[in-house]
């Protein structure tokens, strides 16, 4: 390993890089990615202009994405020391002598916190600012005001997803299993790191390969389970069979979409919203509550998907014995991202699913 930069060597701006000469100092990747993002955003805005979709711009949107992808690949080839030969260190205050990738990951997580904070603050704002649908229903004045199924007039109120999800143990089940899946996956990723970073000689190399692959693979599987259950909860629903000795009767658990809980639900009625005296059913516009739910949990889901992509690569690499104490930090840095995904869920689950 050489931390010194060789002044007489001019590494390629396209990569891969000879790490014996120190870190690369020139790259076309940021410029390419900026141009790619520019094409992508400009064409996307042109394609969806004033509620009119102009499909002729879609190929150019794809071109923009391809340029970004190409820039990313170059950056990746150039900047990553895949075998851990060289781990660039930060030189400036306040991160001096901390690995650049570690600092970069924390700064990235900092920006991620801002993204989720804006989503949470939106949720808090709407949840506190718009009257809860159940409260409106229990007050009963909606009957006189004519917000009923019969009149077709809907009142705007906030319907939290938890009204449907926390209504029974069966409805909570997918979200609760997902919570446990993420906690277990946070544990499996630290176990993968533990075995990858064990000093040479302390562990047999075949056993290291097997254990790191097993733990990374388990994390991958748990992430897949997470997204599958999310699909079940959102779109598919599930069937509960008759288990007479437990007193469980055969029934279907509807998905949120099948219950009518959708971002465009401006004429929604919950099955319990029936006035016992008049028999009228309350009709509500719940699009704000549903949007905050789907956007927040969907953004989290996209992060889980991103983790699956990373884990697929890492598991394959581990299965070829790609992780040693020299480059185990890569698992640590990915782990930071993965724990952050878990951390966000710690907040999302109680406030969007339970309360």
- The answer to the question of residue 190 lying near other proteins (CB under 8 A) is yes
Q: Going residue by residue from 112 to 151, which x/- string records binding to other proteins, judged by CB under 8 A?
A: -xx--xx--x--xx--xx----------------------
State the SS3 of 309-320. HHHHHHHHHHHC
Which class for 43: exposed (0-12), middle (13-18), buried (19 or more C-beta within 10 A)?
buried
Nearest Cα residue to 164 out of 152, 174, 155: 174
Q: Which is nearer to other proteins, 68 or 304 (CB)?
A: 304
Element (H, E) at 171: helix 169-196
Q: Which is nearer to other proteins, 60 or 109 (CB)?
A: 109
* Sign of the CA dihedral with 298 first, then 186, 178, and 316 last: positive
The distance of closest approach from Cβ of residue 215 to other proteins in the complex, given in angstroms and rounded to an integer, is 11
- The answer to the question of residue 243 lying near other proteins (CB under 8 A) is no
* Rounded Cα distance, 273 and 29, in Å: 57
* Rounded Cα distance, 217 and 318, in Å: 9
Q: Which is nearer to other proteins, 42 or 95 (CB)?
A: 95
The distance of closest approach from Cβ of residue 15 to other proteins in the complex, given in angstroms and rounded to an integer, is 28
Q: What are phi and psi of 53, to 5 degrees?
A: -95, 120
* Rounded Cα distance, 262 and 286, in Å: 8
Element (H, E) at 223: helix 205-231
- Count of CB atoms situated within 10 Å of the CB of 200: 10
Within residues 290-349, the interface with other proteins by CB under 8 A covers 328, 332, 335-336, 339-340, 342-343, 346-347, 349
Q: Residues 109, 143, 262, 274: which binds other proteins (CB under 8 A)? A: 109
The distance of closest approach from Cβ of residue 253 to other proteins in the complex, given in angstroms and rounded to an integer, is 15
- For residue 66, give both structure tokens: 């391809």
Q: Which is nearer to other proteins, 149 or 176 (CB)?
A: 176
Q: Which is nearer to other proteins, 12 or 132 (CB)?
A: 132
The distance of closest approach from Cβ of residue 225 to other proteins in the complex, given in angstroms and rounded to an integer, is 16
Nearest Cα residue to 333 out of 111, 87, 114, 21: 87
- For residue 208, give both structure tokens: 């290291």
* Rounded Cα distance, 282 and 275, in Å: 8
Q: Which is nearer to other proteins, 142 or 215 (CB)?
A: 215
The distance of closest approach from Cβ of residue 80 to other proteins in the complex, given in angstroms and rounded to an integer, is 20
The distance of closest approach from Cβ of residue 38 to other proteins in the complex, given in angstroms and rounded to an integer, is 27
Q: Going residue by residue from 150 to 189, which x/- string records binding to other proteins, judged by CB under 8 A?
A: ------------x---x--x--x---x--xx--xx-xx--
Interface with other proteins (CB under 8 A): 94-95, 98, 102-103, 106-107, 109-110, 113-114, 117-118, 121, 124-125, 128-129, 162, 166, 169, 172, 176, 179-180, 183-184, 186-187, 190-191, 193-194, 197, 328, 332, 335-336, 339-340, 342-343, 346-347, 349-351, 354-355
């Amino acid at each position: 390993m050489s931390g010194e930069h060789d002044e007489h060597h001019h590494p390629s701006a396209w990569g891969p890089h000879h790490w014996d000469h120190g870190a690369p100092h020139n790259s076309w990747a940021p410029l390419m990615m900026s141009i790619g993002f520019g094409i992508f955003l400009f064409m996307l805005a042109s394609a969806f202009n004033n509620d009119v979709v102009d499909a002729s711009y879609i190929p150019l949107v794809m071109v923009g994405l391809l340029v970004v992808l190409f820039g990313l690949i170059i950056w990746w080839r150039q900047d990553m020391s895949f075998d851990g030969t060289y781990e660039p260190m930060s030189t400036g205050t306040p991160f001096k002598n901390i690995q650049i990738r570690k600092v970069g990951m924390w700064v990235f997580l900092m920006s991620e916190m801002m993204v989720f904070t804006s989503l949470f603050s939106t949720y808090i704002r709407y949840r506190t600012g718009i009257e809860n649908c159940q409260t409106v229903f229990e007050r009963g004045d909606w009957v006189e005001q004519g917000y009923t199924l019969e009149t077709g007039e809907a009142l705007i109120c906030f319907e939290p997803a938890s009204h449907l999800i926390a209504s029974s143990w069966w409805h909570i089940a997918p979200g609760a299993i997902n919570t446990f899946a993420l906690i277990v996956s946070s544990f499996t990723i630290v176990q993968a790191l533990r075995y990858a970073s064990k000093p040479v000689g302390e562990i047999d190399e075949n056993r290291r390969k097997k254990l790191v692959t097993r733990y990374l693979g388990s994390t991958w599987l748990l992430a897949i389970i997470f997204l599958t259950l999310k699909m079940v909860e959102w779109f598919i629903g599930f069937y509960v069979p008759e288990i007479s000795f437990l007193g469980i009767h055969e029934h279907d658990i509807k998905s949120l979409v099948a219950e009518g809980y959708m971002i465009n639900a401006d004429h929604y009625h919950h099955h319990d919203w029936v006035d016992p005296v008049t028999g009228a059913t309350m009709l509500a516009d719940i699009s704000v509550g549903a949007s905050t739910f789907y956007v927040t949990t969907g953004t989290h889901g996209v992060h889980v998907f991103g983790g699956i992509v990373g884990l697929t690569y890492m598991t394959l690499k581990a299965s070829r014995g790609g992780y040693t104490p020299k480059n185990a930090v890569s698992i640590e840095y990915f782990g930071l991202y993965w724990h952050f995904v878990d951390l966000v869920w710690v907040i999302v689950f109680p406030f969007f699913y339970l309360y």
